[in-house]
Each structure stands twice: as C-alpha cells, then as structure tokens.
Amino acid sequence: MVNYQYFNNQQIMKIYLYLFLTVITLGLVGCKKDYLSLQPTDSQTKENFYKTKSQFQQAINGAYAPLQGLYNGSFWAMAEMRSDNTSYEYDPYDRASTNKEEIDEFRELNNNDIVESFFNASYVGVQRCNIILTRLPLAKLDSVATDTIAGQAHFLRAFNYFNLVRMFGDVPLVLIETNSVGDAFSQAHKAPAANVYNQIIADAKVAIAKLPRSYGVNAITDKGRVTKGTAETMLAEVYMTQKKFDLAIPLLRDIINSNIYKLNADYADNFDVSKENGPESIFEIQYIEGTNGLGSDFVDTFIPWDYYDTDITGYEIANGSPNGWNIPTQDLVNAYEDGDKRKDASLIDFTSNEYGIDLPFIKKYTGPKTQQQGVTPNNFPVYRYADVYLMLAECLNEQGFGSSDAFKYLNMVRQRAGLEPKSSGNSNPDLNVTTQEQFRAAIAHERQVELAFENHRWFDLLRTGKATEVMKAHAISERAYKNGSWQINSAAYSNIRLLFQYPLNQANLQH
C-alpha cells in the first residue's frame, strides 16, 4: 500500500497514473502470456466497474501504464540502439543474454524477447483503450469528462499503433473489446500498414477535437496527461511520415500559436528532475522515485558496466550488472559542433576501465543518487517544443527551399544551444545552406543532436529514407572503433532491415 501523505500533488498524479492494474504492467518485460488478461481484480468485474467518472479515470490511467514499461524496458533499444546514435559496451562477464546486442547489430530473430515485449506492451495499451471506448458510451458521465477520457483513449490507441506500424509494418488492427490480448491476436490477422495509418489519423483527429489545450485548475495534478497539443504533434509526425508535409504545417502552427509552450532557456532543464513537465514539455512518460515500482532505471541501464565510481549512481556497479546499454557512439559524439551546449548536457565522458577506450554515457537521465537500481524519478520526454520547431522547419523546406520561417525555427533551436545561425549566403561555409537538400541535411543533423536518446533517431532515418545509407556507413565506423577492443559479431550489420520481424509467439496465436 502506498502511503500518500509523503507525496506532493504532482507525485500523487504520477501514482494515480499507474496504480490501475500495476501488477500487469510490472510484468511486461520478459513475460509471454501471464499478463495478457485484462480482467479487473477482486470484486471488480467489467460488468460493474465501468460505470462512474472515478472508475473511468482509473481505467484511462491504466491505459497510460504500459508506456512506463515500454520506455523503461524496450523502446530505447529499438529506437536508439537500432540507429547510429547508440550501441553497447561488450560485457565478457555476462553472456547469458545478447538480445539487445542483436537488435543493435541487426541480428535479432523473431523470438527476441525485447522485440516481443514491445509488441505485447503496445497491444496491452491498445486493448485498454478499446475497453474504455466500448464502455464509455454506455456510462452516464458529464460531457466534459466523457470528452476528456475519450480523447485520451483515442490518442493512446493511435500512439501505440503509430509505434507498432513503424516498427513492424503490417500489424493486427484490433478496435473492439476482447477478453484478452491473446484473444485479439487469435481473432485478428495482419492489416495493411495503410489501413493502420488511416485508423491512426482517425483516432488522432478525434483526440484533437476532444482534448483540452491544458487542464486549467487541474494542471498540477493532471500533469502527464495528453492534451490537444500532444495529439496535434503526433498527427503532424504521422503526416510527415507519409510525406504529407502540407497537412502537418497547420497542425504545427496551431501548436505554436496556442502560446502554451516555450523553449526552456537552458537545454539541460528538460532533463532536470526538479523541472519535469516544464514549459517545453508536450508529453513525457511519468516516473516517481522510490521502491514502489514506479521508478525509472535509465541511469542504471545506460551507465557502463565497468563504471565503478558512485558519484553518479550512489551505489557501486558490480560485474554482471545489467548495464552498458544505449552507449553513445562515436558517430554521435562527432556530430556535435564545437561550442554546442547540448553536448555537455547530454554526455558524460568516461574511459573504459576494461578496454581503455573513450566510452561516454548518457547524462540526460542521471538524477539524484540512490542506494539501489530502478528507483529514480527521471521522466522520459516523448514530445518537446523544440521538436515542433524542427518539424515545422522541415515541413516548410519540403514545400520549397528558401522559407524565412524554416530558417527562423531551425535557428531558434540552434541559438538555445549556443550556436551561430545558418543561412543562405553565409560567409562561413559550415553555416551556409543554399539548397533544399542542404537544408534537409541541416535539419537531420539538428534533430540528431537536439533529440539524442529520446527515441527519435531510428524513426527519423526511416521516414527520410536514409536508414540503409546511414547504417551501412555506421557499420564501418563501429567495426573500426570497437574491433580493437572487442570483436563485433561477424554477422553484425550484414542485413540492414527497415522493419522488425513479427514476433513468433504472436504469429503462433494466429494459426
């Protein structure tokens, strides 16, 4: 039982967000079937539970919960390690599990448990939204509560499907309530990706229509919930993925014109645990410090396994600990320009005790020192206002090179980083951008360093058509850098795939 008297209002919101069906959520990573049942526990049943506003608020909180497990457990492996941004530190003392190494090097099979956990957790989120959207019209709630709950459910269903379709392509499109996610898999076959995108767009439009710009007087206790701006950001990204840049532009301008958001003056404030859900935040995954099962473990997972000092973690890393993942690559380190303030806010320099090579690790998610793993309060940013600026700059450039607004939004992000603006006709060749293709490259570079370790890079490479080209070049640099310290698997990067394989266990449910 959580004792609420020790938490402030914002912390209580975080707890509420994950109490509903918490046991299921905590079992996401590594579980195959046990967590699939979504029946309410104890005396609660589907027949008597979905009746009141309070019950639906609990239910929608439960629909957010799988995202906590996703971002803690598998998302970063598939969205950052899959790209040229991050890799891993080889651990000769722990060879029991190589699933993340396989993802990093495009060697994973269809039984990879990290990939399967991502797939399963996403459908748990979809199923919880389906239950809410099926039951909500039958309840007698006031119109404001109905719209707010429905808007969140439509967004979360769309968000889960957006991640699924980008990772796997054709996937089952389940829109009705079923007894379990397993039942959904057995009843629904893969739908074409185009159909999945149509549903994502439909759900996002409903979310935009129903969600508030902000939660007003409840803004403190409701931090962490999605808003109209969140849904607009997602839909803009969907349109950009489909090359429909003209449809993304009005959504992005609407976000800017709402005057709800602004850039933090200091880039590092986006990752300061005392400044979470700040003015730049559009959507972030909520975590809370403590041994209540609601903490994040990014710092524990991302720190090199041979980092023996306690000045970052508060406790000593031991051989065999599950660390050394999502390690920034030299390609990323080299991408930062001289004087870029984001580098110091994003990376911590470290020379490996085991290998004697530079092995920087992620600074963004280092928080207060703790005495054990998995108890830190670091949130994970999904959408930030800087992303909106860069998205709009990209869209404007795709409509034709030379837009003054495109340069304006690009340079607003650069200015915050302490960098000189880019322009057409600049006397400095490093800052001179004279063609549409050069502007594309400028945006790609800015997104890589601005949004590093925030699960954007792989998706950016996919939607811009650069994944194969970039990853082939990355393979060469990785082999050159690492093979002097440890030998990369001979099959690494030999088959650069744009989609993950459909998980075997779920495929078996469809036969």
Structure tokens of 451? 């949004």
Mean pLDDT, to the nearest integer, of 143-164?
A: 98
pLDDT category at 22 given cuts 50, 70, 90 is very low
Please report which confidence band the pLDDT of residue 92 belongs to, taking 50, 70 and 90 as the band edges: confident
C-alpha of 152 from chain center? 17
Q: What is the mean pLDDT of residues 230-236?
A: 99
CA 452 and chain centroid, separation: 11
> Quick one: pLDDT at residue 371?
57
Q: What's the pLDDT tens digit per position in 352-396?
A: 888 988 889 999 998 777 656 667 899 999 999 999 999 999 999
What type of residue is 213? R
For the ranges 18-32, 73-87, 268-282, 494-508, the lowest mean pLDDT is seen at 18-32
Q: Report the range of poorest mean pLDDT among 186-200, 365-379, 472-486.
A: 365-379
Q: 434 with 425: CB under 8 angstroms?
A: yes
Q: Which two tokens mark 129?
A: 């939204």
Tally Cβ neighbours within 10 Å of residue 213. 12
> What pLDDT score was predicted for residue 91?
86
pLDDT of 6 > 80? The answer is no
Nearest to 302 by CA among 286, 294, 311, 313: 313
Q: How far apart are CA 406 and CA 414, in angstroms?
A: 13
How many angstroms separate the CA atoms of 368 and 365, rounded?
Answer: 10
Question: What does the pLDDT average to over 299-327?
Answer: 76
Q: Are 28 and 305 in contact (CB under 8 A)?
A: no
Angle between helices 53-73 and 9-19 (to 10 degrees): 90
Closest CA to 270 of 219, 208, 327, 341: 341
Structure tokens at 344: 């110091």
Bridge partner residues of 381 (DSSP): 284
Assess contact for 494 and 106: CB atoms under 8 A.
yes
The residue among 127, 480, 214 whose CA lies nearest residue 330 is 480
Q: What is the pLDDT of residue 312?
A: 73
Q: At 294, is the pLDDT very low, low, confident or very high (cuts 50, 70, 90)?
A: confident
Is the CA virtual torsion 128, 193, 398, 428 positive or negative?
positive
Q: Find where tokens 């393979």 sit.
A: 475
Residue 3's pLDDT is: 33
Q: Give dist(CA 374, CA 83) in Å, integer.
A: 25
Rounding to the nearest 10 degrees, give the CA dihedral for residues 232, 233, 238, 244.
Answer: 80
What pLDDT score does 10 carry?
46
Please report the pLDDT score of residue 370 as a whole number: 67
Q: What is the DSSP string of 383-417?
A: EEHHHHHHHHHHHHHHT-TT-HHHHHHHHHHHHHT
DSSP label at residue 190: E
Position 26 scores a pLDDT of: 33
The one-character DSSP state at 382 is E
What does the alpha-carbon distance between residue 136 and residue 144 come to, in Å, rounded to a whole number? Answer: 13
pLDDT exceeds 60 at position 334: yes
Q: Check residues 113 and 48 and name the one with the higher pLDDT.
A: 113
Number of Cβ within a 10 Å radius of residue 144: 11
Whose CA is closest to 397, among 464, 477, 329? 464
Better pLDDT: 153 or 508: 153
Residue 349 has pLDDT above 70, yes or no: yes
CB-CB contact of 237 with 395 (8 Å): no
Residue located via tokens 């968000």 = 159
Which pLDDT value is given to residue 375? 78
Do the Cβ atoms of 492 and 106 come closer than 8 Å?
Answer: yes
Tokens of 234: 């997602």
Backbone torsions φ then ψ of 383, nearest 5 degrees: -130, 130
Q: Give just the sign of the alpha carbon dihedral 102, 107, 111, 117.
A: positive
pLDDT confidence of residue 162:
99
Mean of per-residue pLDDT scores for the chain: 88
pLDDT of residue 2: 33
Rounded distance between C-alpha atoms, residue 302 and residue 89, angstroms: 10
Helical spans, DSSP H, in 20-172: 22-26, 46-49, 53-73, 75-76, 99-104, 113-135, 143-168
**Res 323: pLDDT:** 84
Distant-in-sequence, close-in-space partners of 318: CB < 8 Å, separation ≥ 6: none
Sketch out the chain's domains with CATH numbers: 18-94+103-242 (1.25.40.390)
Show the CA angle centred on residue 272, arms to residues 267 and 277, nearest 5°.
90
pTM of the full structure: 0.91
